[in-house]
Structure 1
Amino acid sequence: MAIIKAAIYCRISEDPRSTERGVTRQREDSEQLAKARGWEVVGTYIDNDVSVLGARFRQNYDAMLEAAVRGEFDFIVAYGLSRLWRNRKERAHAIEVLAKARVGIALVKGSDIDLTSAAGRMYAGILGEFDSAESEIKSERIARAAKQRAEEGRANGSHAYGWTRVYQRDSAGNMISWEDVEDPIAADVVRGIVADLLAGLSMNHVVRELNASGTPTPSGKGKWMSSTVRKLALRKMNVAIRTHRGQEYPAAWPAIVDRDAHDRVTALLTDPTRVTTKGGARRHLLSFGIGRCGKCGSILRVVNRGGPHILYCCDTPQGCVGRRVEWVDEFVASVICARLAREDARDLFVSSDDTAGRDARIRVDAIRSRLDSAADAFADGEIDAQQLARITAKLKPELSAAEADASRATAGLDSTLVSEITAGDTREVWDSLAVTQRIAVLQALDVRVTLLPARGGPGFKPQYVRIDWNASESQP
């Protein structure tokens, strides 16, 4: 009598700690079944921590099917049919493949299935449908619970960086509820990141300062990265907004960032014209098109031609103009600070006062409130689904337009920095700023510095440096 050859297949959907205890139990039980029947186990295929309901690739499952096609075994032994399939498309494909390969299925918890017969294939399909339905019902319950948490404004999972979780327990010590409250230390880190970015500091500067200060990262491991800082600054949860599948809900946790500051930093970091070059580009005051050549109109770059001094030069092969960086920067600083020391200096930062931004955000909040009211009215039966759809269709474009207006209006210089540099000793404040902050001031003032071809002998000649205000309006 020919020996029947078998392959064992084991799978567990979730094993976050990779203990493999579940698949080990499946393997042991399957081996006992094969031994009791006198079958020879020629292969064991294990997919640990892999769900079959979604689209995750099962490497060892596919390898097993390929082995079946090659005729390496007669039966697949599994703990239960649900270990093999819950996905309808995958199940239909496998039944067809195994039927052609004349491979049957033996289950530790279940009956044998002969896939070479129509009745056996029907039986496998019917049993599989029960497994699919069970998984889908479970997914629906999970999705509904997730939506309910979102509607209640509660976090989905552990608390986020910036908050800590407080549990309420009964007299027996059992947890009955919880709430997320502000973590003062972590929240201050988030607020500091937002404030530094709005003050004109570069992302790289903020990262360096966080690492230099020894501030723990959100994970408590490794070093701060620009991506981490950006993510923290842009989170809507900072202003107590909970998102779920693109829908926003009022969060149950407290806001840790002022709404105006959040909108401003979002506008800043998502501005498509924002320059994010790496290296030394931000170290020089006339970077990013602030400095121009007065002869050909090209932007200025910084070069070292082998001498003791770094120069601003025309960004062309012929190099129309060239000036020592320290001379030009000092002259620009003196002119800018002299103007900002005057009583009407704050009027130069019209956009930084953010009146338009606040008006736009008031409109955004009002439209969101109307959408929320409509949703509540639908939930209370005051309006039907068709009426809710009409209201939503009308208000959504208005909300998008108002949000766009808010974004454009809030991209200016932070009002705190405006106050600092227009009050007291302007030059002392200027000298204390990082270069990126000085650049931000010049950009907010719409200043352009043009180096004109100089005449005469060596030395710095300020008459050949032109400083224009509101440059984007007066120059091409």
Structure 2
Amino acid sequence: MRAREYLRVSRDASGEGRSPSEQHAENAAAVADQGWDLHPEPYREDRAVSASRYARGKARPAFEQLRADLAAGTFDADVLVLWEASRGGRRVGEWADLVDALEAARVLVYVTSEDAAHDPAKPGGRRALLSAAVDSEHESGKTSVRIRRTVRARAEAGGVHGKNLWGYVRRYGRSSSGHPVLEAVEPDPATAPIVRDVFERVAAGDASWAVARDLNHAGVPTRRPARTAGRAQIGWTQRMVVQLVRTEAYAGVRVHRDPETGEVRRTPAVWPALVDRATWDRAQDVLAARGAAGRRDADWAATHLLTGILRCVCGAPMRTGRQNSGGGARYVTYACPATPGGQPGPHTSMREVHADALVVEAVLNTLADPAFLARVGSEQGETDTRREELRSEIAAAETYLAEAKAASAAALDLSILLEARDAVAPRLEAARRELELLAGVSPEVAALAGREDLDDVWESMDVAAQRRVLRAVVRPVVLPAVPGRRGLAAARDRLELVWR
């Protein structure tokens, strides 16, 4: 008799994990006691992947290989060895399919923790195996309910859940049994000041792309390690900055969405806030005013110049597709994603080569126009000057209020502070609102405007950089086609350019 193992990370009743190596050691000893030979190549899952029906989209490659080998007759053993029955699966349907495959291949099942062998071809053995699957699925269901209840209770108490939030560090101690126990969540001395600075800059009106640029220039690592070398070279992006500023946890709030009802609940968090609520709210207002939350920042991965930038007359961002031109030839188009029977209204498409040529031609002509350069320079200078004026005004008002607060406390007279607030609050709020609306001019656009070698510089830029320039300058819209008219000239008449 020859035995072959399936090993998967397990947790026993004590909560201790049983690694595949530990399972293998116990399995090997049991197989030797039975007098069987052990196959040198077990099916092994080294990642902790749940076999429960509550697991979300995580594959078990070794389990799939086991099933494929049983079906193909290449299992190469007489006995499947499991450390416990639930190692095979916690889904009754999946386990029943495996039992059928084992029966067809005439393979026995030996469960080490029970010291019992089961023959799927016999009623008693089949019943024992299927009963184990029912019991495992039942336990999984109870565990899932218990976990959801624990997560909900922890959220209502403002407790932590999941990975550590960038800007904080977690301090752990040890329980009486030696297990790590979370004692506190504290601001990280290295990254907490960066988080505060990002919020303050966005709340003060700085553009999120400018914040990302400065973080990259300063060599600040991104909140999460990059998964690829190419992504690591990109560093911070506008979207990353927006995601950080949108995170309410930095204001000391625990946000939890109930998976059953979909209700979002907010409770005071156990960790300290890195930014005060007023700053967080002002930052949200700035993002909302610019529509930054809805902007795509996947330009670094784009391969087509106008995907998502070109708009259908219905307002939807257009995406690429392919159409036949006869004789088996195909060409790329930008097309509205609306399908027949979907979004009502007219929907358009245009050849990629025509749209790209026309938009680039119009944008480069505009950038080369001396009038545009003068306007950009004037607007940029005026914007920077006005922003500095507003920042000085806001700083002076906040200083005045701080001094009034101190004087009020010293004199034990609240009216001092109230009178100071009445005097400066309207001007302070007006200055903050105006500052929120000033985003400045993209430096990439300013660097291109008026250059004599503009065409050569444009050709040397990658698609991501070109797309950023286009987004900052123009909003192209494709109008409906005119029956009987085709080609570049017809496309020119259909392209409406809305300059920003």
Asked whether the 8 Å contact 1:33–1:108 carries over to 2, the reply is yes
> What is the CA-CA distance between 1:153 and the residue it aligns to?
0.9
Query: Which 5+ residue runs of structure 2 have no aligned equivalent?
Result: 12-16, 227-231, 259-263, 301-309, 311-358, 391-428, 446-472, 474-497
Asked whether the 8 Å contact 1:166–1:181 carries over to 2, the reply is yes
Match of 1:239 in 2: 251
Cα pair distance change 1:138/1:323, threshold 3 Å = same
Q: Give identity over the alignment, percent.
A: 24
> What is the CA-CA distance between 1:100 and the residue it aligns to?
2.2
2:153 is the alignment partner of 1:148 = yes
Aligned equivalents of 1:44, 1:149: Cα separation in 2: 40
Match of 2:240 in 1: 228
SS at match of 1:248: strand
Between 255-264 and 195-204, the greater mean CA deviation after superposition: 195-204
SS at match of 1:435: coil
Q: Structure 2 matches for 1:210-229, cutoff 5 A?
A: 210-218=215-223, 224-226=235-237, 227-229=239-241
> What is the CA-CA distance between 1:243 and the residue it aligns to?
1.9
Cα pair distance change 1:175/1:414, threshold 3 Å = farther
Match of 2:364 in 1: 303
> What is the CA-CA distance between 1:238 and the residue it aligns to?
2.2
CA displacement, residues 414-437 of structure 1 (integer Å, 9 cap, x when unaligned): 94483699xxxxxxxx9xx95349
Aligned equivalents of 2:236, 2:298: Cα separation in 1: 16
Asked whether the 8 Å contact 2:383–2:440 carries over to 1, the reply is no
Match of 1:435 in 2: 441
CA displacement, residues 23-61 of structure 1 (integer Å, 9 cap, x when unaligned): 112223323333333333344211122221125221111
Q: Structure 2 matches for 1:112-191, cutoff 5 A?
A: 112-157=117-162, 159-165=164-170, 178-183=183-188, 186-191=191-196
CA displacement, residues 276-303 of structure 1 (integer Å, 9 cap, x when unaligned): 6969xxxxxxxx9xxxxxxxxx999553
> What is the CA-CA distance between 1:149 and the residue it aligns to?
1.0
> What is the CA-CA distance between 1:89 and the residue it aligns to?
2.2
Asked whether the 8 Å contact 2:242–2:292 carries over to 1, the reply is no
SS at match of 2:103: helix
Asked whether the 8 Å contact 2:256–2:265 carries over to 1, the reply is yes
Aligned equivalents of 2:118, 2:175: Cα separation in 1: 51
Cα pair distance change 1:174/1:328, threshold 3 Å = closer
CA displacement, residues 362-393 of structure 1 (integer Å, 9 cap, x when unaligned): xxxxxxxxxxxxxxxxxxxxxxxxxxxxxxxx
Match of 1:255 in 2: 273
Number of equivalences:
325
For 1:91, which of 85, 88, 95 is the aligned residue? 95
Q: Structure 2 matches for 1:326-365, cutoff 5 A?
A: 326-330=373-377
Q: Structure 2 matches for 1:363-402, cutoff 5 A?
A: none
Aligned equivalents of 1:103, 1:36: Cα separation in 2: 19
Amino acid of the residue matched to residue 255 of structure 1? A
Query: Which 5+ residue runs of structure 1 have no aligned equivalent?
Result: 15-19, 280-287, 289-297, 305-310, 314-321, 346-412, 422-429, 440-447, 449-471
2:7 is the alignment partner of 1:10 = yes
For 2:84, which of 80, 86, 93 is the aligned residue? 80
For 1:267, which of 275, 281, 288 is the aligned residue? 288
> What is the CA-CA distance between 1:248 and the residue it aligns to?
2.1
SS at match of 2:183: strand
Asked whether the 8 Å contact 2:9–2:18 carries over to 1, the reply is no
Aligned equivalents of 1:236, 1:187: Cα separation in 2: 15
Larger radius of gyration: 1
Cα pair distance change 1:235/1:332, threshold 3 Å = closer
Amino acid of the residue matched to residue 250 of structure 2? N
Aligned equivalents of 2:272, 2:135: Cα separation in 1: 44
Amino acid of the residue matched to residue 103 of structure 1? V
Amino acid of the residue matched to residue 36 of structure 1? D
Asked whether the 8 Å contact 1:300–1:312 carries over to 2, the reply is no
Match of 2:64 in 1: 62
The alignment's TM-score, normalised by the length of structure 1, stands at 0.55
Asked whether the 8 Å contact 2:196–2:274 carries over to 1, the reply is yes
Asked whether the 8 Å contact 1:76–1:103 carries over to 2, the reply is yes
Amino acid of the residue matched to residue 98 of structure 1? L
> What is the CA-CA distance between 1:197 and the residue it aligns to?
3.4
Aligned equivalents of 2:141, 2:122: Cα separation in 1: 28
SS at match of 2:5: strand
Q: Could you say what the CA RMSD is over the residues aligned between the two structures, in angstroms?
A: 4.7
Cα pair distance change 1:333/1:84, threshold 3 Å = closer
Cα pair distance change 1:13/1:167, threshold 3 Å = closer
Match of 2:25 in 1: 28
The alignment's TM-score, normalised by the length of structure 2, stands at 0.53
SS at match of 1:303: helix
> What is the CA-CA distance between 1:228 and the residue it aligns to?
3.2
Aligned equivalents of 1:48, 1:334: Cα separation in 2: 59
Amino acid of the residue matched to residue 194 of structure 2? V
Asked whether the 8 Å contact 2:6–2:82 carries over to 1, the reply is yes
